[in-house]
Amino acid sequence: MTLKQPEFILFIQHGWKDISKSLTILANGLTTPKIKVIIPNLGYLNTWLKIENLIKTLETEVLNTLAQYPDLPIRIIAHSLGGCLWLELLEMYPELLPKIESFVLLGSPVGGSDVARIIDPFAILPTIARDLGKNRRHLAEKIAQKVPILVIVGDKDHGSDGTVVEGSTFIKGAKFVRLSGLNHKDLRNHILVIETIKKFWGGELPEIEIKQNINDEREEIIAILRKVEGITDAHYRDFKYAQIALTFPSGLKLYLWKNPAQVDHVFLADQNNNCIYAGFVGWIHSQDLKNAINQISMNYN
Protein backbone atom coordinates (compact mmCIF):
# COMPACT_ATOMS: atom_id res chain seq x y z
CA MET A 1 0.00 0.00 0.00
CA THR A 2 1.33 3.44 -0.97
CA LEU A 3 1.49 6.01 1.82
CA LYS A 4 -0.32 9.23 1.08
CA GLN A 5 1.57 12.50 0.86
CA PRO A 6 1.39 14.45 4.17
CA GLU A 7 -0.74 17.61 4.23
CA PHE A 8 2.00 19.73 5.79
CA ILE A 9 5.30 19.59 7.68
CA LEU A 10 5.21 20.48 11.36
CA PHE A 11 8.52 21.58 12.83
CA ILE A 12 8.56 21.60 16.65
CA GLN A 13 11.64 23.06 18.32
CA HIS A 14 12.76 22.76 21.94
CA GLY A 15 14.66 25.47 23.75
CA TRP A 16 17.42 26.05 26.28
CA LYS A 17 18.61 23.22 28.59
CA ASP A 18 16.15 20.86 26.94
CA ILE A 19 15.86 18.01 24.44
CA SER A 20 13.30 16.99 21.83
CA LYS A 21 11.77 14.29 24.05
CA SER A 22 10.18 16.94 26.27
CA LEU A 23 7.89 17.92 23.37
CA THR A 24 6.44 14.43 22.84
CA ILE A 25 3.16 15.19 24.63
CA LEU A 26 2.71 18.36 22.59
CA ALA A 27 3.45 16.54 19.35
CA ASN A 28 1.10 13.66 20.16
CA GLY A 29 -1.67 16.08 21.05
CA LEU A 30 -1.44 17.91 17.74
CA THR A 31 -0.39 15.46 15.08
CA THR A 32 -2.22 13.00 12.88
CA PRO A 33 -1.02 10.52 10.22
CA LYS A 34 -1.54 13.32 7.71
CA ILE A 35 1.19 15.47 9.28
CA LYS A 36 4.94 15.03 8.82
CA VAL A 37 6.45 15.90 12.21
CA ILE A 38 10.08 16.96 12.66
CA ILE A 39 11.44 17.62 16.16
CA PRO A 40 15.16 18.47 15.83
CA ASN A 41 17.22 17.52 18.88
CA LEU A 42 19.91 20.12 19.55
CA GLY A 43 21.48 18.32 22.51
CA TYR A 44 21.12 19.45 26.12
CA LEU A 45 24.73 20.59 26.56
CA ASN A 46 24.82 22.34 23.19
CA THR A 47 22.00 24.67 24.25
CA TRP A 48 24.33 26.22 26.84
CA LEU A 49 26.85 27.23 24.17
CA LYS A 50 26.82 29.83 21.41
CA ILE A 51 23.82 29.98 19.11
CA GLU A 52 25.63 29.55 15.79
CA ASN A 53 25.96 25.78 16.07
CA LEU A 54 22.33 25.43 17.14
CA ILE A 55 21.18 27.39 14.09
CA LYS A 56 23.36 25.20 11.87
CA THR A 57 21.81 22.02 13.30
CA LEU A 58 18.30 23.37 12.75
CA GLU A 59 19.22 24.61 9.27
CA THR A 60 20.48 21.18 8.23
CA GLU A 61 17.35 19.43 9.51
CA VAL A 62 15.00 21.92 7.83
CA LEU A 63 16.75 21.94 4.45
CA ASN A 64 17.03 18.14 4.35
CA THR A 65 13.32 17.80 5.14
CA LEU A 66 12.28 20.36 2.54
CA ALA A 67 14.41 18.60 -0.06
CA GLN A 68 12.28 15.49 0.53
CA TYR A 69 8.97 17.39 0.56
CA PRO A 70 9.54 20.48 -1.61
CA ASP A 71 5.86 21.16 -2.26
CA LEU A 72 4.48 20.86 1.27
CA PRO A 73 3.52 23.89 3.38
CA ILE A 74 5.15 24.39 6.78
CA ARG A 75 3.88 25.00 10.29
CA ILE A 76 6.25 25.87 13.13
CA ILE A 77 5.96 25.60 16.91
CA ALA A 78 8.93 26.75 18.97
CA HIS A 79 9.48 26.94 22.72
CA SER A 80 11.71 29.57 24.33
CA LEU A 81 15.17 29.63 22.69
CA GLY A 82 13.70 27.55 19.85
CA GLY A 83 11.73 30.60 18.73
CA CYS A 84 14.90 32.69 18.61
CA LEU A 85 16.57 30.03 16.45
CA TRP A 86 13.69 30.07 13.97
CA LEU A 87 13.72 33.87 13.77
CA GLU A 88 17.40 33.76 12.88
CA LEU A 89 16.87 30.97 10.35
CA LEU A 90 14.01 32.79 8.61
CA GLU A 91 16.16 35.90 8.40
CA MET A 92 18.71 33.74 6.57
CA TYR A 93 16.08 32.10 4.32
CA PRO A 94 13.28 34.62 3.62
CA GLU A 95 12.26 32.49 0.63
CA LEU A 96 10.71 30.08 3.13
CA LEU A 97 8.12 32.60 4.33
CA PRO A 98 5.55 31.95 1.55
CA LYS A 99 5.57 28.25 2.53
CA ILE A 100 4.76 28.91 6.21
CA GLU A 101 1.10 28.59 7.18
CA SER A 102 1.60 29.47 10.85
CA PHE A 103 4.29 30.18 13.45
CA VAL A 104 3.59 29.56 17.15
CA LEU A 105 5.97 30.93 19.77
CA LEU A 106 5.75 29.51 23.29
CA GLY A 107 7.37 31.80 25.85
CA SER A 108 10.09 32.96 23.47
CA PRO A 109 12.09 36.03 24.59
CA VAL A 110 12.06 37.73 21.20
CA GLY A 111 12.82 41.10 22.81
CA GLY A 112 15.73 39.63 24.79
CA SER A 113 15.85 37.71 28.05
CA ASP A 114 16.25 39.90 31.13
CA VAL A 115 18.01 37.06 32.98
CA ALA A 116 20.50 36.65 30.13
CA ARG A 117 21.20 40.40 30.06
CA ILE A 118 21.93 40.33 33.79
CA ILE A 119 24.29 37.35 33.39
CA ASP A 120 26.08 38.86 30.38
CA PRO A 121 25.32 42.62 30.30
CA PHE A 122 28.00 43.38 27.71
CA ALA A 123 27.26 40.35 25.47
CA ILE A 124 30.86 39.15 25.60
CA LEU A 125 30.64 35.64 27.08
CA PRO A 126 30.92 32.64 24.71
CA THR A 127 27.66 31.20 26.04
CA ILE A 128 23.98 31.18 25.14
CA ALA A 129 23.38 34.07 27.59
CA ARG A 130 24.88 36.44 25.03
CA ASP A 131 22.43 35.22 22.40
CA LEU A 132 19.34 34.97 24.61
CA GLY A 133 19.80 38.60 25.60
CA LYS A 134 19.61 39.77 21.98
CA ASN A 135 16.58 41.74 20.82
CA ARG A 136 15.02 40.03 17.78
CA ARG A 137 11.69 41.85 17.85
CA HIS A 138 12.43 43.60 14.54
CA LEU A 139 12.90 40.19 12.88
CA ALA A 140 9.66 38.87 14.37
CA GLU A 141 7.64 41.91 13.35
CA LYS A 142 8.95 41.67 9.80
CA ILE A 143 7.89 38.02 9.65
CA ALA A 144 4.48 38.83 11.18
CA GLN A 145 3.72 40.97 8.13
CA LYS A 146 3.78 37.82 5.98
CA VAL A 147 3.10 34.88 8.32
CA PRO A 148 0.30 34.35 10.88
CA ILE A 149 2.02 34.32 14.29
CA LEU A 150 0.59 33.24 17.62
CA VAL A 151 2.39 34.11 20.86
CA ILE A 152 1.44 32.00 23.90
CA VAL A 153 2.74 33.03 27.31
CA GLY A 154 2.31 31.65 30.79
CA ASP A 155 1.50 33.93 33.70
CA LYS A 156 2.92 32.38 36.83
CA ASP A 157 3.64 35.51 38.87
CA HIS A 158 1.71 38.38 37.29
CA GLY A 159 4.36 39.40 34.78
CA SER A 160 6.25 36.29 33.67
CA ASP A 161 6.14 32.52 33.36
CA GLY A 162 8.83 32.33 36.03
CA THR A 163 11.61 32.45 33.43
CA VAL A 164 10.63 34.81 30.60
CA VAL A 165 8.95 38.16 31.28
CA GLU A 166 5.75 38.74 29.35
CA GLY A 167 6.91 41.99 27.77
CA SER A 168 9.80 40.31 25.96
CA THR A 169 7.39 38.00 24.09
CA PHE A 170 5.32 40.76 22.47
CA ILE A 171 5.34 41.02 18.68
CA LYS A 172 3.43 43.71 16.81
CA GLY A 173 1.03 42.07 14.36
CA ALA A 174 0.80 38.73 16.17
CA LYS A 175 -2.04 37.18 18.09
CA PHE A 176 -1.40 36.94 21.82
CA VAL A 177 -2.76 34.51 24.40
CA ARG A 178 -1.93 34.56 28.11
CA LEU A 179 -2.51 31.31 30.02
CA SER A 180 -2.79 32.02 33.74
CA GLY A 181 -0.98 29.74 36.16
CA LEU A 182 1.34 28.14 33.59
CA ASN A 183 5.10 28.28 34.04
CA HIS A 184 7.80 28.18 31.39
CA LYS A 185 8.06 24.38 31.34
CA ASP A 186 4.27 23.97 31.21
CA LEU A 187 4.24 25.70 27.84
CA ARG A 188 5.95 22.67 26.29
CA ASN A 189 3.15 20.19 26.88
CA HIS A 190 0.11 21.58 28.73
CA ILE A 191 -3.36 20.68 27.42
CA LEU A 192 -4.33 24.37 27.35
CA VAL A 193 -1.43 25.06 25.01
CA ILE A 194 -2.46 22.20 22.74
CA GLU A 195 -6.09 23.39 22.67
CA THR A 196 -5.03 26.98 21.94
CA ILE A 197 -2.85 25.93 19.02
CA LYS A 198 -5.66 23.80 17.57
CA LYS A 199 -8.01 26.78 17.74
CA PHE A 200 -5.41 28.97 16.05
CA TRP A 201 -4.95 26.44 13.26
CA GLY A 202 -8.71 26.15 12.85
CA GLY A 203 -9.28 29.91 12.79
CA GLU A 204 -11.33 29.66 15.98
CA LEU A 205 -9.17 31.88 18.19
CA PRO A 206 -10.78 35.13 19.28
CA GLU A 207 -9.18 38.20 17.77
CA ILE A 208 -6.84 38.80 20.70
CA GLU A 209 -4.25 41.14 19.28
CA ILE A 210 -1.16 42.36 21.09
CA LYS A 211 -1.94 45.62 22.82
CA GLN A 212 0.98 47.34 21.12
CA ASN A 213 -1.09 47.36 17.93
CA ILE A 214 -3.40 49.98 19.44
CA ASN A 215 -2.27 53.36 18.15
CA ASP A 216 -2.73 55.43 21.28
CA GLU A 217 -0.49 57.44 23.57
CA ARG A 218 0.55 54.55 25.80
CA GLU A 219 1.64 52.43 22.86
CA GLU A 220 3.51 55.32 21.27
CA ILE A 221 5.41 55.92 24.51
CA ILE A 222 6.23 52.23 24.86
CA ALA A 223 7.42 52.19 21.24
CA ILE A 224 9.82 55.08 21.96
CA LEU A 225 11.18 53.30 25.03
CA ARG A 226 11.65 50.03 23.15
CA LYS A 227 13.77 51.84 20.57
CA VAL A 228 16.33 52.80 23.21
CA GLU A 229 19.68 51.16 22.52
CA GLY A 230 20.25 48.24 24.88
CA ILE A 231 16.85 48.33 26.58
CA THR A 232 15.36 45.02 27.75
CA ASP A 233 11.85 44.27 28.99
CA ALA A 234 11.75 43.76 32.76
CA HIS A 235 9.36 42.29 35.31
CA TYR A 236 6.63 44.49 36.79
CA ARG A 237 7.57 43.42 40.33
CA ASP A 238 10.06 46.27 40.88
CA PHE A 239 7.52 48.93 39.97
CA LYS A 240 6.76 49.36 43.68
CA TYR A 241 10.24 50.82 44.26
CA ALA A 242 10.05 53.44 41.50
CA GLN A 243 9.44 57.18 41.75
CA ILE A 244 7.34 59.33 39.44
CA ALA A 245 9.38 61.17 36.82
CA LEU A 246 6.63 62.39 34.48
CA THR A 247 2.86 62.76 34.69
CA PHE A 248 0.96 63.16 31.43
CA PRO A 249 -2.32 65.05 30.85
CA SER A 250 -3.94 61.74 29.92
CA GLY A 251 -3.22 60.36 33.39
CA LEU A 252 -0.34 58.10 32.34
CA LYS A 253 2.76 58.24 34.55
CA LEU A 254 6.41 57.46 33.89
CA TYR A 255 8.44 56.08 36.80
CA LEU A 256 12.19 55.60 37.26
CA TRP A 257 14.25 53.42 39.59
CA LYS A 258 17.90 52.44 40.03
CA ASN A 259 18.44 48.99 41.49
CA PRO A 260 21.26 48.29 44.01
CA ALA A 261 23.66 47.75 41.08
CA GLN A 262 22.71 51.24 39.78
CA VAL A 263 20.98 49.82 36.72
CA ASP A 264 18.34 52.23 35.39
CA HIS A 265 14.76 50.95 35.19
CA VAL A 266 11.78 52.69 33.60
CA PHE A 267 8.08 51.94 34.11
CA LEU A 268 4.91 53.23 32.51
CA ALA A 269 1.70 53.16 34.54
CA ASP A 270 -1.86 53.65 33.31
CA GLN A 271 -4.50 55.99 34.69
CA ASN A 272 -5.20 53.53 37.52
CA ASN A 273 -1.51 53.32 38.38
CA ASN A 274 -1.18 49.78 37.05
CA CYS A 275 2.21 49.05 35.52
CA ILE A 276 1.84 48.42 31.78
CA TYR A 277 5.51 48.51 30.75
CA ALA A 278 8.82 47.80 32.48
CA GLY A 279 12.33 47.94 31.06
CA PHE A 280 15.95 48.44 32.02
CA VAL A 281 19.20 49.52 30.36
CA GLY A 282 22.82 48.74 31.14
CA TRP A 283 25.11 51.46 32.43
CA ILE A 284 26.48 52.29 28.98
CA HIS A 285 22.99 53.09 27.70
CA SER A 286 21.75 55.24 30.57
CA GLN A 287 22.12 58.42 28.55
CA ASP A 288 20.13 56.90 25.68
CA LEU A 289 17.28 56.27 28.11
CA LYS A 290 17.47 59.85 29.39
CA ASN A 291 17.31 61.14 25.82
CA ALA A 292 14.22 59.03 25.12
CA ILE A 293 12.51 60.31 28.28
CA ASN A 294 13.26 63.88 27.21
CA GLN A 295 11.71 63.14 23.82
CA ILE A 296 8.64 61.65 25.48
CA SER A 297 8.32 64.69 27.75
CA MET A 298 8.43 67.08 24.79
CA ASN A 299 5.98 65.01 22.73
CA TYR A 300 3.32 64.36 25.36
CA ASN A 301 3.52 67.14 27.95
* Sheet of 35-38, strands arranged across: 35-38, 8-13, 74-79, 100-106, 149-155, 175-180
Determine whether 265 is exposed, middle or buried from the number of CB atoms within 10 Å of its CB (0-12, 13-18, 19+). Answer: buried
Query: Mean pLDDT, to the nearest integer, of 41-48?
Result: 96
From the options 3.40.50.1820, 3.30.70.141, 4.10.910.10, 3.30.460.10, give the CATH code of 8-212.
Answer: 3.40.50.1820
**Phi-psi region at 158: left, alpha or beta (left = phi > 0; alpha = psi -120 to 50):** left
- Asked if 263 and 281 touch (Cβ cutoff 8 Å), the reply is yes
From the options 3.40.50, 3.10.450, 3.30.460, 3.90.1420, give the CATH code of 215-300.
Answer: 3.10.450
Q: What is the pLDDT of residue 3?
A: 54
d(CA 194, CA 199) in angstroms, rounded, equals 9
- Whether 1 shows a pLDDT value over 50: the answer reads no
pLDDT in tens, 131-189: 999 999 999 999 999 999 999 999 999 999 999 999 999 999 999 999 999 999 999 99
d(CA 9, CA 179) in angstroms, rounded, equals 26
User: 110: closest CA among 165, 178, 56, 188?
Assistant: 165
- Whether 209 shows a pLDDT value over 70: the answer reads no
Q: What is the pLDDT of residue 124?
A: 85
Q: In the chain, where are the structural domains located?
A: 8-212, 215-300
Could you tell me the pTM of the whole model?
0.93
- Whether 206 shows a pLDDT value over 80: the answer reads no
